[in-house]
Structure 1
Amino acid sequence: MESPQQMEELLEQAAVGRLALATKEGPYLVPVNFLFLPGAIYVHSARAGRKFDALKADGRVCFEVDEAGPQVLSARGCGISQLYRSVLCFGSASFIEDPAEKRAILVKMIEKYVPASYPVSPMNEENLANTALVKIAIETMTGKAQALSPAHTVVVNRFQKEILPEQ
């Protein structure tokens, strides 16, 4: 997956991303809900805790999303594979403090995860103040994918233990 459009498509579709941070104790990886807008990823957080402290201490981050497909079998041992798409983003994190900007981004995040038919009350000032909003400015982005090829003979969904028809 080389085109920026394909990478952005996966970032828009993914429900969960993984945020990698540097701490004094070593690497820290945490799954997060997020919002992707061109050039940036937004993550919300409590204003206390390991993730918050790590982001305050060092804004350098890596962010990953992926989509795992079925496994692919082959008569050759080294031909066994996994279909997937993934994107890695490297960038720097900063906290959004402007209440109007924070509210606008959080509303977009709610729209991503909550069905439009579900009633959601507006954020009050206390909720807004108690929520940290992190903007990750994407500096570099790479993507990788393994698609089905003629070398793959049988596709298996190992979690359902069934063989899918050859394509």
Structure 2
Amino acid sequence: MNREMHKKERQVSDERAKEMLLEATEGTLAMHGDDGYPYALPMNYVYLNGAIYIHTADYGYKIDALKANQKVCFSVIVRSKIAPELYTTRYESVVATGDAEFIEDEAERQLVMETIVDRFSPGLREGGMKFIKAAIARTAIIKINIREMKGKAFRAEGL
């Protein structure tokens, strides 16, 4: 895949792209849907050990789509601000492509769920552990093994 970015001056370093994934909390998961149509939806995620992890119910359209085709794209808008005087938008974003994998290893599943609790419910770890214990058996943990990732930014004073 590895296409060149059209506006290369806006590409950020790999290290900055990873930092941006750690900063943001929502992204859009795009996958192959029914009848050749793409299917994309917003998801919370965590970036951990060089991979993107999402959690979801263990049934439904998303699960069916990922079982049929594991190739996915995940995009994140870290910051965005309209710059009317420039007729454009200041932004920071990341696009990652890779292969989705359903995580079955109990230790990895637990680590991901604990990371999610710590990230999205800081200070509520005790309750989060109870939630994990009750929900983990019916939760799908999906790991996106990143094949390619590019970060892009247009800051032009003001972002």
- Secondary structure of the residue aligned to 1:138 is strand
Contact 1:64-1:87 within 8 A present in 2 as well: yes
Closer, same or farther in 2 for the Cα pair 1:118/1:109, shift >3 Å? Answer: closer
Kindly indicate whether the alpha-carbon contact (under 8 Å) linking 2:81 and 2:90 is maintained by their aligned counterparts in 1. Answer: yes
Which of 102, 108, 127 in structure 1 is aligned with 2:109? Answer: 102
* One of 35, 44, 56 as aligned partner of 2:46: 35
Instruction: Point out the structure with max Rg over C-alpha.
Output: 1
- What is the 5 A alignment of 1:60-79? 60-74=71-85, 79=86
Does 2:17 align with 1:7? Answer: yes
Give, as a single letter, the amino acid of the residue that structure 1 aligns with 2:122: P
Is the 8 Å Cα contact of residues 68 and 82 (structure 1) preserved in structure 2?
no
Q: Indicate how the Cα distance of structure 1 residues 98 and 63 shifts in structure 2: closer, same or farther if over 3 A, else same.
A: same
Matched residue, 1:134: 142
User: AA paired with 1:36?
Assistant: Y
Q: TM-score, normalised by structure 1?
A: 0.80
- The letter of the residue matching 1:63 is F
Q: Which residue in 1 is equivalent to 2:4? A: none
Q: In the alignment, which residue of structure 2 is the partner of 1:158?
A: none
For 2:123, what is the secondary structure of its paired residue? Answer: coil
User: How much does 1:127 deviate?
Assistant: 2.0
Q: Distance in 1 between matches of 2:126 and 2:111?
A: 18
Task: Compute the TM-score of the two structures, normalised by the length of structure 2.
Answer: 0.84
Alignment RMSD: 1.9
CA distance in 1, matches of 2:71, 2:20: 22
Aligned-pair distance for 1:118? Answer: 6.2
CA contact (8 A) 1:11 1:87 kept: yes
Consecutive unaligned residues in structure 2, runs of 5 or more: 1-10
2:67 counterpart (46, 56, 64)? 56
SS of match in other structure, 1:36: strand
**Which structure has greater helix proportion?**
2
Cα distance in 1 between the residues matched to 2:108 and 2:80: 37
Distance 1:49 1:139 in 2: 26
The one-letter amino acid paired with 1:42 is Y
Q: Percent identity?
A: 35
- Would you say how many aligned residue pairs link Structure 1 and Structure 2? 146
Q: Which runs of 4+ in 1 moved over 6 A?
A: none
Give distance in 1, aligned partners of 2:146 and 2:47: 10
